[in-house]
Amino acid sequence: MWRKARVIRAENGEIRERLDTLRVDRALRDSDKANLVLAVSKMELGFFSRENPSDKIPLMERWAAMQGAQTTLRAHHSGLAYLHALLEKAKAEMAGDGYMSEHTRGTILCEFGFWDCLFALICSHAGPSAAEAEDRPSGAVDDKEAEKKRADIVAFIDERLERIGLFKEYALEREELAGDAEARSFSLPPADATDKLLRYEAHLDRQLYRAMDQLERLQRQRKGENVPPPLNINLGKRN
């Protein structure tokens, strides 16, 4: 009976081993997915270039892969936090310099190009004006137009920041629900551990029933009862 109680302790240990680290494990998996997407988007793999005849992967397939990567990035809270920080940086550059740096524009194109193409195109034209690029003064009319353009771009950025904020709330709720579902699925030990525990418990049950049967026979013999010999049946195949 003590050994059967040990089976229950072992079963609880198998369950707790996965439950205790579930939240951390899920966070690491989601972070790894987001980091993989970011690493791919940072590499110059020619996703936005013309199709190279020597490339074995067609251009549309590469674009579809990039679209899937951007979808994966939006599916996790860590990826959305990165997108939020990227837009905050773009907004700060617009407020401080009046335009986005080339690096920021390229990054926005990589991360937004296939799920918010309009926003990506608008940001791609948010570089310095010709006068700013040549470091020469511009006229009053040009200044007003440039200011209006900056205000429109900042408004676009604020709208996307608000949308990403909603996505982050949805992602948190979805991750909590998925974590709860995964925790419930861990109510049983893994299959290999379950098989081992069941075999061990079945072995103990056979030993226990055999000992109880022997005890019963001895008790009946002590009372003077006529106890027939045990009947052993061989279920093996006959020749």
Residue 219 has a pLDDT of 92
- What does the pLDDT look like over 50-78, one tens digit per residue? 455 545 666 677 777 777 777 877 888 88
The answer to whether 109 touches 120, Cβ cutoff 8 Å, is yes
192-197 long-range contacts, Cβ below 8 Å, gap at least 24? 193/11, 193/14, 197/7, 197/10, 197/11, 197/14
Q: How far apart are CA 175 and CA 182, in angstroms?
A: 10
Residue 145 has a pLDDT of 79
Give the angle 49-52-54 at the CA atoms, nearest 5°.
Answer: 155
- List the one residue out of 122, 133, 130, 108 whose CA is nearest residue 48: 108
- What does the pLDDT look like over 107-137, one tens digit per residue? 888 888 888 888 888 888 888 865 455 555 5
Which amino acid type is present at position 115?
W
pTM across the whole model: 0.59
Q: How far apart are CA 117 and CA 71, in angstroms?
A: 13
Task: Give the ranges where the chain is alpha helix by DSSP (H).
Answer: 2-19, 22-42, 59-74, 77-96, 102-112, 117-124, 130-133, 140-185, 191-222
